[in-house]
Amino acid sequence: MASDPTWPAFGTEALAWESSDAEYGPRTGRSHRRGPYEAALPARIADAELRLDGATTALVAEASAEIARLDGESLGSLMSFASLLLRTEAASSSQIENLTSSPKAIALAELGRRGRANADEIVANVGAMTRALDVADRLDTDAILAMHRVLMRDHMPDAAGQWRDSAVWIGGSARSPHGADYVAPRSALVPDAMEDLMRFVARDDLPALAQVAVAHAQFENIHPFPDGNGRTGRALMHAQLRHAALTRHVVVPISAGLLAETDRYFAALTAYRTGDPVPIVVRVCEAVFPALQGARLLMDDVSAARERWATSVRARRGASAWRLADALVERPVIDSRLAAELLGVTMANAQSAIDRLVEDGVLDQIGRGARDRVWQAVEVIEAMERFADRAHRRTG
């Protein structure tokens, strides 16, 4: 597919590196941590013309139609899967950053059961994704800061929801930007670069999915935060999809599709800063198709589990046990406190519903303790594990 020769490229500028660290460490390394280094200069894209060749335009249209189709299919059923798909997307987006954890561990972390740090960070990403959808009707720099604040408030509280005030780079040494693969624009340029980006996001004269992809690449190359850029940038994608009404009811797990070929994804982000937006548009569109396939398989697996429950749950229809079974699609690991909250009943009534579902084979207790008990809907957890395994296998 042909590149766009008119799209603005990132530039570079030479900057002085000032760090007391340059005076310490092995003598052989000190010279490499001194002297000027090159940092990126962000392209201005607010009013730039995006030219896509016929093949890329057709791919954008096809992927957009598939997203809308999933969003519109069996709307009544899909609504109950919205939270499940959001959680799988948050997990896949985190996996791109090498933050992995099992669906059960993530669900336990959502209950406040402290375990692996990765699970806690993925739960924070669920919150950031949720916040992205909440602010989709007003996409501006404040919305971006709000997403990042939710993502990082427990892991980097001093920097959460604030533009960075120091240099960041990818690759090379952690001590200085010298020899890095990429050095993001100096921090003083970030606020204006982000305002320019959000003016681009506000445009309504571009194919929505192409606009999403380009905005994502611009965001990632600005790298406006000290950490959490990838996850915040992918949350922005979903806010844009919702804002453009490509999605109204569900989150398409695009990150699971990007996991299929992360090398191409990162290469497309690199190509973008040279002035070629086509690779990232193509990569995002291509990611849509395996993402939708995975989403449908996940929904089919969970629907099959719910059908089995219909023959095994012996409570009357409308009883608390049935309402709790429906809630397990969104929250497959529960304790009595969460069950009471989901059902709007007392803890005692919630426990009765749990006991009914345990007896009927829907819930299993995790562990054997008699106090502070937790239960899981094994079939839902296993469906989520299969979804993650399929995405992981595509990366191999």
Annotated binding site: 227-234
Check 148, 223, 238, 243 and give the catalytic one.
Answer: 223
In degrees, rounded to 5, the angle at the alpha carbon of residue 369 between the alpha carbons of residues 367 and 374 is: 60
List, in sequence order, every residue forming a beta bridge with 36; answer none if it has no partner: 16
Asked if 267 and 282 count as a contact pair (C-beta separation under 8 A), the reply is no
- Distance from C-alpha of 224 to C-alpha of 42, rounded to nearest angstrom: 11
- Which residues have a Cβ under 8 Å from the Cβ of 8 and sit 6 or more positions away? 43, 44, 45, 48, 275
Please provide the DSSP assignment of 306-355 as one string.
HHHHHHH--SPTTSHHHHHHHHTTT--EE-HHHHHHHHTS-HHHHHHHHH
- Distance from C-alpha of 180 to C-alpha of 176, rounded to nearest angstrom: 8
Please provide the DSSP assignment of 58-126 as one string.
HHHHHHHHHHHHHHHTTHHHHGGGHHHHHHHHHHHHHHHTT----HHHHHHHHTT----HHHHHHHHHH
- Distance from C-alpha of 164 to C-alpha of 381, rounded to nearest angstrom: 38
C-alpha 209: how far from chain center: 16
- Which residues have a Cβ under 8 Å from the Cβ of 163 and sit 6 or more positions away? 145, 187, 190, 191, 194, 224, 225
Instruction: For residue 264, count CB atoms less than 10 angstroms from its CB and return exposed for 0-12, middle for 13-18, buried for 19 or more.
Output: middle
User: Could you confirm whether 216 is annotated as catalytic?
Assistant: no
Feature table: binding site for ATP: 227-234
- Distance from C-alpha of 365 to C-alpha of 333, rounded to nearest angstrom: 9
Amino acid 328 reads L
Could you give the residue numbers annotated as active site?
223
